[in-house]
Structure 1
Amino acid sequence: MGGFTLDDIKAARKPRDSWWTVFLVDPLACRLALLVANRTSITPNGLTRVSILLGFASAGCFAAGHLVAGAVLFYLSFTVDCMDGKVARLKGTGTPFGLWLDYVGDRVRVLCCAFGFAYGQGASVYWIAATAVVLLDLFRYINAPQINRVREATKLLVAARAGGEVVFVEDVLRHTPQSRVGHLVATHDQPLVDLHRGWRKTFPWYDRFRIFLVRRRVRTHVVGGIEFHAAVFVVAPPFGAWAMVWAAGVAGALLLLFEFALIYRVWLAAREAGRTVAERERVLV
């Protein structure tokens, strides 16, 4: 039904993704997506619905105490979830409703699996762990878009008040992600505004770390929602119920650490924006 190649599928991947997806899911998801794209008429939304059904099956296994089966089904559910976006980008068949369905499906999967696990184990400590997993998942996926809104609002504020055309380092890096910031600032044709200068001063190793990950298609947010889900619902279950509780605690702490790092970075950017505006206003005067 189609003449797509594996290279076409790889080209449809996100430019950067979680390390769990890049190394442990995409090798399978890309090949399955190629099969679906070439030999079936399944739509991206159809794949999302399959992912949700597999998520319900995973929750059912956790509720029945079959932790290993639940882990396998959760992994398969996430794998199919990674296929829908690739097929949508490959065929140009993505829809706004598909974005909503994908987002809500992920939240429902986590909620059902967490409380399915608690129901299967019964003790109060498992219900507490399940509640913590759901709340941390919601925090991550509420915080992320708000951070993006603050980031964009900060850039708009600088552009509006600084006068003249403003070029931001992070926008240039989006197109040339393997560039070093110092080299960009020194060689770029237009003056660049680096709102993350304070962050780079605090963590001088960050730029090298970022480039190291970019070359491997891995995002710098090393522990996010995907890694958190994988730790709790895929890696830990074969080791037993208590391993899932420990995974929720350790992975949850790392998730919060990286979320607070994002918040700190945005706060530093807001301070840098104020200094940038003040400097440019002095120059204009």
Structure 2
Amino acid sequence: MIRIAILSGKGGTGKTSVAASFGYLAGKRAVLCDCDVDASNLALVASAQNIQSREYSGGMVAVIDPEVCIGCGACTRVCRFDAIEKSGSKYRIEAASCEGCGYCPRVCAFNAISMVERKSGDIFTAQSRFDSAIVYAELSIGAENSGKLSTQVRRIADEIAEEKNAEVIIIDGPPGVSCPAIAAATGTNYILFVSEPTLSGVSDLERAMEMARKLKIAAGVLVNRADINEVLSIKIKEITMQAGSDFWGAIPLSSDFVRAVRNGKTVLEETDDERITSVLTQTWRSILERFQNWN
């Protein structure tokens, strides 16, 4: 089984559009996995029909039992997050402010405070219109994304791929190089970075490629909106080649991407521009040719 992660150093480069196009090309041979849990959009393009959902708990939160609390205030004196409020003669904890440090239960002499699991989001298993399974998640409002939820999404996608004997897992990862991006990339066979020719795009791509080198994962680069700055597009190609990575080509700025998103389709279904279709199709095929047993 092949695991391909589609990542980007920064947001807004067209990463999800590329991942969705690959899902369209792969069809039922793939399992789609959206690890961008802060802004999960792959399921929208894939017209996913939910099959199952499950809650995800990624941390702890303190809870005060009002029947036991005597209102001594010891807990509020040690809380550094202003999460404990006075409620009549007793105290209560504002869950959105609690960081789950576990200090307040230690100082409560009456055992009125306990730590419980905090719901951090929901994980969905669905069926895409490409006839493939898709796994994605939605982070709860105000919840912290440490990468654990991305890891859980990856694990479920692996289980489904094994069950369905899928040949490839296509991972739409989050932007940047933080914990969620590392969680999306770790253990994959290949990383495709989608970049753009802007100063921030170049800078963030260099950091992202450094991450791939440290993870010892083969990587390649695809430039989107390449014609908005041809000088920087050439620089991206030079950086890629110097790093010993694959440069898969350049895609021009096109309103076809916007129309595709608006219509809930992949750009391959919405454009006749061969500058787009040929690069995406050839990139997909070339990456797969690196691995055996793909025909």
Tell which has more relative contact order, 1 or 2 (C-alpha 8 A, sep 6+). Answer: 2
- Larger gyration radius, structure 1 or structure 2: 2
Q: Same fold (TM over 0.5)?
A: no
TM-score (norm 1): 0.29
TM-score (norm 2): 0.28
